[in-house]
Amino acid sequence: NAGVTQTPKFRVLKTGQSMTLLCAQDMNHEYMYWYRQDPGMGLRLIHYSVGEGTTAKGEVPDGYNVSRLKKQNFLLGLESAAPSQTSVYFCASSTGFGYEQYFGPGTRLTVT
Amino acid sequence: EDKVVQSPLSLVVHEGDTVTLNCSYEVTNFRSLLWYKQEKKAPTFLFMLTSSGIEKKSGRLSSILDKKELFSILNITATQTGDSAVYLCAVCSNYQLIWGAGTKLIIKP
């Protein structure tokens, strides 16, 4: 049981480049989330999904897109990276809102 | 606007001390409050609280919720250096988790 996995673990992008972060969970959870964490700001929700084929905006969705084509995978895309998107990105999953969220190990992204 | 405020922002104590971390909230539709511990990686779950006055306990850690006064506390007794971490509080409201900025706890040997 791997839990929640994220790829890649580290990435450096130049401004304007695009990339996709992949999150996979093997716990059969319906709910999945993408967060970013910046120093002193806690976790901020980017997008979330309540089931296969559904996505919704969180607190800071601008500049990001997501897709949930399969229940176990949740992809986060950056179409045109900006230095303000330098952050640590965490994926999480849960059985429902308000319940324990299981987190992936994080992706450290630097945009120069 | 929903918000979660944790205090103190940072705390330095000596091994063996007892610490109390605070989490206050203002949200429109409270469903639950969760505590997490974050070391140099992903947050790990500690407690979920939904009812006032019922203490959750796990070893040296305990937590309680006061829904009337809108806060929760996390207590750690007989602290150890391994307790050094950032402790995060999150409140579920309107189908989203609102996160506090965290309390950075440093335990000195």
Who among B45, B97, B101 is closest to A40 (CB)?
B101
Please tell me the distance in Å from B99's CA to the nearest CA on chain A.
6
Minimum distance, in Å, between the CA of residue B28 and any CA atom of chain A? 14
Say whether A58 and B48 touch across the interface (CB within 8 A).
no
CB within 8 Å: A100 and B102: no
Collect all residues of chain A within an 8 Å Cβ-Cβ radius of residue B23: none
Name every residue in A having a CB less than 8 A away from some CB of B: 33, 40-45, 48, 58-59, 90, 97-106
B58 touching chain A per CB within 8 A = no
Mean pLDDT of B51-67: 92
CB contact under 8 A, B96 and A48: yes
- Distance between start and end Cα atoms, chain B: 41
Q: B81: phi > 0 → left, psi -120 to 50 → alpha, else beta; which?
A: alpha
pLDDT at B44: 93
Q: Identify whether the C-beta of residue B18 lies closer than 8 Å to the C-beta of residue B75.
A: yes
> What's the pLDDT at A60?
94
Q: Which residues in chain B have Cβ-Cβ distances shorter than 8 Å to A106? A: 41-42
Q: Shortest Cα distance from A18 to chain B (angstroms)? A: 25
Tell me the helices (H) and strands (E) count for chain B, helix number first.
Answer: 0, 11
CB-based contacts of A62: which residues, under 8 Å, 6+ apart?
none
Q: What is the pLDDT of residue B91?
A: 94
Is the pLDDT reported for residue B41 higher than 80?
yes
Confidence of residue B45 (pLDDT cuts 50, 70, 90): very high
For chain B, percent of residues with pLDDT exceeding 70: 100
Intervals of chain A under pLDDT 70: 1
Contact at 8 Å (CB) between A72 and A26?
A: yes
Provide the pLDDT for residue A54: 95
Q: How far is B14 from chain A (nearest CA, A)?
A: 24
Indicate yes or no: CB of B31 within 8 angstroms of CB of A98.
Answer: yes
